[in-house]
Chain A
Amino acid sequence: MSRSGKALTKYKIVFLGEQGVGKTSLITRFMYDTFDDHYQATIGIDFLSKTMYLDDKTIRLQLWDTAGQERFRSLIPSYIRDSRVAIVVYDITKKKSFEYIDKWIEDVKNERGDDNVILCIVGNKSDLSDERQVTIEEGENKAKILGADIFMETSTKAGYNVKNLFKKIAKSLPEFQNSDTNPLDTDGNGKNNKANESSGDKPGIIDISTNEEQEQAGGCQC
């Protein structure tokens, strides 16, 4: 009887962004596949864990949800320092939250430097297209400029692209890097290759324009 079994690697993911952009709801959608209309501000820092099964591999994601309020800002750097993935979330209907991305990315870079950290920029609330203040192109450009590994627009309310996001993040982790496909090199519609070309040597920006079918089919097995 092999009790020790195979080691299960844990990865810390920290969620950053202004207040009310949907960090907690993104985690809730991923964890429980639910959405709560009632807004409740996060107090301090919260964490949740989830085991993810993907391509015959199992990883454990530890999701650290930070509070967007100013008074909790001083806590956040301590959590960035040992995180492998930083997800910066903005609200596509609030330009201000988009502008603050630079600050968040700077915080991450200050803490982690060029260390092995995966940067993700996520534009949330894509279901509110009527109130959109930040276009996809703006988001893509910003991600390119800031050197983010993954850019994606999501809707936690509609459940759009959330699983896809985590799937892409998981595939960017070292656990999956030695496997057959590199998430940074491939994409469903090949647009990502273009992005790679345009961004020179830098690992490409993941093209978010996956069609609806892909999105629906691309759920992870968790």
Chain B
Amino acid sequence: MDFIDYQTYAISTDTLPNASNNDTLPEPVSRLNLSTATATAIQQQQQQQQATDPTASFEIPQLFQDDVKKKKQATDLHGKMTQYAQNSIKKLDSLTTATTKLPSSSSSSTNESSLPVPNDASSSMELTNAILSRKLSSILNDSPIANNNTYQSTIQMRSCLKSLESGMKLKNLPNEAKLVTPEYVGTLARKSLRNDLESQLLKEHVLVLEEFRPIVRRIKRFTSSVDKIESVAGTILNKNEGNDHATSKVFDEVDQLKNQMEWLRLKRQLLINLKEKFTLNQVEDDLIVNSPINADFFVVINKVLKIKENATYLLALENNNAGSCLITEVNSTLQLINKKIFNFLVDFIYNFENSTSSSFSFKATNINDNDDNLINFQKSLVFLSNDLPYFDEFLKRVTSIRSKNVLDEFLSQFDTASKKPITMLAHDPIRYIGDVLASVHSIIANEADFIKLLFKFQENEEQTKLNNMEPISIVQSNMEFLNGLDVKLLNEIIQSVSNSCRIRVEQIVRFEENPIINYRITQLLNLYQLMFVNKGINSNSSLILNLEKLQDISKDKIIEYFEKFIANVKENSLSKENNNNNKPKDRKKSVDTGEFGDDLLPPEWLSDYLRELVGLFEEYEQNNDSDTTNEDHENKLINVRNMKTLVDVPIFEVLLKQISESFPLARKSEDIKISMLTVQINCFDLIKSRLQPFATNIFKTSTKIHESWQKISDNLDQYVKQMEELQEKLLFEKTGLSLYHNLFNMIFPIDSVQDELDYDMYISLLDNALMNLETINNNIHEKLNEYVPHALTDVQANLLFKLTSPTIADKICEKSFGNLSKFYSIFREILLHLFPDSQDDILKILNFSNTEFNTLVGI
């Protein structure tokens, strides 16, 4: 029995000339001997096989529907094989009826013309291989996979072949070689392979069908329901047939319901959106109540603010109830948030306080610029600025807490139990006040550090961060309450020490009498005002105003000191005068020398006064610098009013009055006049010499002040001049030349006489009886000879001896003796000119030559 090789069939379709007809199958070819096999033999073999093989009626299971199968037949291998199998079975059936005999091997030779038969065995094998190759390639080419002719199809084909090969290996199929052998063993192997393949295929199909089992079961389960629905539907449709009105009504109702459903859906969507936009969810509610102040909390705050902003739009609706209700609700939430933030801020400050030590090493909370706590604090502060009452309350709390702290710190400096208390040591008020103000300065430095850290909103970074908080209220965006908040708080906090500081400094200022120390105090106070203002303390703050007041007090004390000084002088002078009035016996002495004693020196008080004044001026000169003083001219110590008190009043009022009162007979007595002038010159010389260093600075401060200085100089010059005149007059009187000096001056001023020609001006005097030489001799000669030799000594020793300034004394001497000498010389010359015949007499009367005269008077 020969195994029907379907592939051989397939090849034969190509090779045989009648292969084009699908119904005409090629003759089955015996593998045993293809060359000798005849169609008849094959047919016989097939019939035999059919008879014996129970699988002859085998039909490849149809997994597909008929139409699909038909398509597949033409396309895939499975279809083809099915077709071949069916055709061959049909053919076999027909053959069975035609002939029952199997072809013998001998008869094959009779049909050799139908197939090309090789001459020998080797060529027969080659031919077989060639045919098989062609068949295989034909099958592969016909395959739908191979027809695609793409890389993917090639891969697919390869994988198919590989799986076939691997399947063969797995199934422990007989050796491949055995399968392809043409002998009986090969036939058996191929047969068993077929069986295996069929059983395997069946198993596979069963497995596939098993997967469909649950689906089928489900379908069966629904079958009854579907049938029922179908029957009901049929009933309904049948019933409603011809009742269009009812149907349309139902459809309308359905439409309405549909619309209503759509409307409700939209409404739901709208409400959901409204809920999202206008309400807080439970988590957010919980965050507001229970969450700590952090970034999440601010997100919720932003949402609340957004809701409030959105709620305002609702107010524009005709019925604004929703808007107003929502706003009320949001406001209550915001109130809660504000309260929470307020508590957080207060808590923050209290915690800071608790962590701050007031010990020697100043401590502050370790909050750096990038700290989240700080950012939260500042964000909270910005938010709280929307609620002014809370915001103000918080600022008040901060101010009160910090003020107390600052005040405690300040007062602890004076606690004697402390490590280094500020105490008044060795009566150094400047040091004490300096320590007090330095401690305030230090407090300001510490406080400014703290305040700037918490309350200074950096322009760029923080502003950007804060601006990121949406939405921003108008107040917030203006930063009305936040700009300069640090400076404002610093000022408010520092105010707490202003009174204590004032009291401490005032204790010193009130009792300090020394004008120089007082001036130093004013300078110190002024300098600290400047430094405090530079560190952000407002110039109109109570601290600065207190310092200004203290400065004014100190300044007033300076002037007061000098006023008191002068008042004492006046009082003393008055009491002395009263004493003198009560003691008439001493009156004469008092009248002669006044308050000034026999040496006619300036009064002691004047020296003391000037010493104090000069000390003050020196201090003023050293420290008065436009860099360190912020006072205007009127507020400066040296101003017109103060200079009048310091200089004009004591000199031009008190001193001159005292001098004039001391020398009441000066007008009557030349001696007293000389004494008075001596005192005046001494006093004014002292004043001028002591105040001279300040002529170009302090006395140049203003025109009016300079006038005081000018007045002093003018007075001195005037007194010197008066003294010169008086001395001159006395000299002329004592030398007997006075009469002639007056006479000559009446005719023509002696000072104007230039040369001998001018002498003729005096010719008219020849008629005067006084110009008689004898009279002249009697009037002049004796006096001249008596006085001139010791005139210089007389003047210097007696008259000018009491002048303290030798320069002025020399000047007076020089001037008066110069005039005397000049007159003597001119007088002598004029007499010689007028009396040319009596020259010897004249030379006897005026017996000193000009040189001798000058020598004698010290010129």
Interface residues on B, range: 35 or more
Asked if A38 is an interface residue, CB under 8 A from chain B, the answer is no
What are the residues of chain A within 8 A of B445 when measuring CB–CB? 47, 49, 62
Question: Quick one: closest A residue to B449, CB to CB?
Answer: A49
A71 to B363, CA, bound (A): 33
B8 on interface, CB distance cutoff 8 Å: no
Task: Mark contacts of B414-442 with chain A using CB atoms, 8 A cut-off: 1 yes-contact digit, 0 otherwise.
Answer: 00000010000000001100110111011
Binds A, one of B350-358, B398-406, B647-655: B350-358
Q: Do A74 and B430 touch across chains, with their CB atoms under 8 A apart?
A: yes
Output the least CB separation between A5 and chain B (Å): 4
* B531 cross-chain contacts in A, Cβ below 8 A: 43-46
User: Are A7 and B363 neighbours in the complex by a CB distance under 8 Å?
Assistant: yes
A10 and B364 contacting across the interface, CB-CB below 8 Å: yes
The residue of chain B having its C-beta at the shortest distance from the C-beta of A81 within the complex is B420
Evaluate whether A71 and B366 lie within 8 angstroms (CB atoms) in the complex, with A3-B347, A43-B627, A82-B420 already known: no
Q: Which residues 39-59 in B have Cβ within 8 Å of A in the complex?
A: none
A45 & B441 in contact (Cβ 8 Å cutoff): yes
List chain B residues, Cβ under 8 A from A3: 347-348, 351-352, 365, 373
User: Smallest distance from the beta carbon of A40 to chain B beta carbons, Å?
Assistant: 10
Are the CB atoms of A75 and B527 closer together than 8 Å?
A: yes
B243 CB-CB contact with A under 8 Å: no
Closest chain B residue, CB of each to CB of A72: B527
Out of B361, B373, B528, name the residue touching A10 (CB < 8 Å). Answer: B361
Note all chain A residues with C-beta closer than 8 A to B313.
none
Assess the B366–A6 pair: CB atoms within 8 A. Answer: yes
Contact A1 B373 (CB under 8 A): yes
Interface: B446 (CB within 8 A): yes
Q: Determine whether the beta carbon of B366 is less than 8 Å from that of A58.
A: yes
B799 to chain A, nearest CB (A): 48
Contact A84 B361 (CB under 8 A): yes
Whether B524 is near chain A, meaning CB under 8 Å from some CB there, is yes
Question: Is A60's CB within 8 Å of the partner chain B?
Answer: yes
Q: Are B366 and A5 in contact (CB under 8 A)?
A: yes
Contact A8:B361 (CB < 8 A) given known A1-B292, A49-B445, A77-B434 = no
Q: How far is the CA of A74 from the CA of B517 in the complex (A)?
A: 12
User: Is A10 touching B363 in the complex (CB atoms < 8 A)?
Assistant: yes
B438 touches A78 (CB 8 A): yes
User: Nearest chain-B residue to A58 (Cβ)?
Assistant: B366
* Known contacts A4-B352, A5-B373, A62-B445; A75 and B434 CB within 8 A of each other: yes
Whether A7 contacts B366 by the Cβ 8 Å rule is yes
List residues 56-114 of chain A with CB under 8 A from any CB of chain B. Answer: 58, 60, 62, 71-72, 74-75, 77-79, 81-82, 84
Smallest CB separation, A136 vs chain B (Å) = 33
Residue B781 CB within 8 A of the other chain: no
| Chain A residues with CB below 8 A from B793, complex form | none
Question: A211 within 8 Å of B by Cβ?
Answer: no
- B64 in contact (CB, < 8 A): no
Query: Can you name the residue of chain A whose Cβ is closest to the Cβ of B441?
Result: A45
B520 and A74 contacting across the interface, CB-CB below 8 Å: yes
CB-nearest residue of chain A to B365? A5
Assembly CA distance A43 to B434 (angstroms): 15
The answer, yes or no, to whether B697 is at the interface (CB within 8 Å) is: no
**A8 contacts which chain B residues (CB < 8 A)?**
363-366
Complex contacts, A166 vs chain B, CB 8 Å: none
In the complex, whether B623 has a CB less than 8 A from a CB of chain A is: yes
A51 interface hit (Cβ, 8 Å): yes
Tell me, rounded to whole Å, the shortest Cβ–Cβ distance linking B492 to chain A: 21
The reply to whether B355 and A4 contact each other, CB–CB distance below 8 Å, is: yes
Partner of A75, one of B294, B420, B438, B535: B438
Q: Closest CB of chain B to A24's CB: distance in Å?
A: 14
Interface mask (A117-158 → B, CB under 8 Å = 1, otherwise 0): 000000000000000000000000000000000000000000
Q: Are B527 and A44 in contact (CB under 8 A)?
A: yes
Partner of A78, one of B294, B363, B434: B434
A8 to B450, CA, bound (A): 12
Tell me if A9 is interfacial: C-beta within 8 Å of chain B.
Answer: yes
The answer to whether B520 touches A81, judged by C-beta atoms less than 8 angstroms apart, is: no
CB pair B357 A7 closer than 8 Å: yes
Whether B628 sits at the interface, judged by CB under 8 Å, is: yes
User: Which residues of chain A from 1 to 57 have a CB within 8 Å of any chain B CB?
Assistant: 1, 3-12, 41, 43-47, 49, 51
Q: Is there an interface contact between B364 and A60, defined as CB atoms closer than 8 Å?
A: yes
Selected from A9, A58, A75, A82, the residue in CB contact (under 8 A) with B442 is A82
Contact residues in A for B535 (Cβ distance below 8 Å): 47
**Chain B residue nearest to A59 in the complex (CB):** B361
A7 to chain B, nearest CB (A): 5
User: Within B328-377, which residues are at the interface with A (CB < 8 Å)?
Assistant: 347-348, 351-352, 354-357, 360-368, 371, 373
Q: Tell me whether B622 is interfacial, beta carbon within 8 Å.
A: yes
Chain A residues in 8 Å Cβ range of B420: 81-82
B368 touches A79 (CB 8 A): no
Which of these, B361, B368, B534, B628, contacts A9 with CB under 8 Å? Answer: B361
A7-B357, A44-B531 known; A71 vs B622 contact (CB < 8 Å): yes
Residue interface mask B52-73, A partner, CB < 8 A = 1: 0000000000000000000000
Q: A3-B348, A5-B367 are in contact. Are A78 and B435 (CB under 8 A)?
A: yes
Task: Fill in one digit per residue for B112-149: 1 if any A CB lies within 8 Å of its CB, else 0.
Answer: 00000000000000000000000000000000000000
Residues on the A chain within 8 Å of B527, using CB: 43-44, 72, 75
Contact (Cβ within 8 A) B294 A1: yes
Q: Within 8 Å CB of A10, what residues of B? A: 361-364, 446, 449
Closest A-chain residue to B293, C-beta based?
A: A1
Q: Which of B352, B354, B530 is the one whose CB lies under 8 Å from A43?
A: B530
Known: A45-B441, A81-B435. A4 touches B530 (CB 8 A): no
Residues of chain B with a CB closer than 8 A to A41's CB: 627
Tell me the minimal C-beta distance from B749 to chain A in angstroms: 58
Chain B nearest Cβ from A81, distance in angstroms:
6
List the A residue with the shortest CB-CB distance to B434: A78
Distance (Å) between the CB of A59 and the closest chain B CB?
10
Residues on A with beta carbons closer than 8 Å to the beta carbon of B446: 10, 62
Q: Residues of B contacting A51 with CB < 8 Å?
A: 368
Q: How far is the CA of A12 from the CA of B348 in the complex (A)?
A: 26
- Cα-based distance from A176 to B627 in the complex (angstroms): 41
Q: Which residues of B contact A5 (CB under 8 A)?
A: 355, 365-367, 371, 373
Complex contact A71–B364 (CB within 8 A): no
Q: Which residues of A contact B294 (CB under 8 A)?
A: 1
**What's the minimum C-beta distance from B445 to chain A, rounded to whole angstroms?**
5
Nearest residue (CB) in A for B623 is A71
The docked-state distance in angstroms from the alpha carbon of A60 to that of B364 is: 9
Q: Which 7 A-B pairs have the closest CB atoms?
A: A78-B438, A10-B362, A4-B355, A8-B366, A5-B366, A78-B434, A6-B366
Q: What are 8 A-B contacts defined by CB distance under 8 Å?
A: A3-B365, A5-B373, A6-B366, A43-B527, A44-B628, A78-B437, A82-B360, A84-B361
Which A positions have Cβ atoms within 8 angstroms of B? Answer: 1, 3-12, 41, 43-47, 49, 51, 58, 60, 62, 71-72, 74-75, 77-79, 81-82, 84
Supply 12 further A-B pairs (C-beta < 8 A) apart from A3-B347, A4-B354, A7-B357: A1-B292, A3-B352, A3-B365, A4-B365, A9-B361, A10-B449, A44-B527, A44-B531, A71-B625, A74-B524, A75-B527, A79-B442
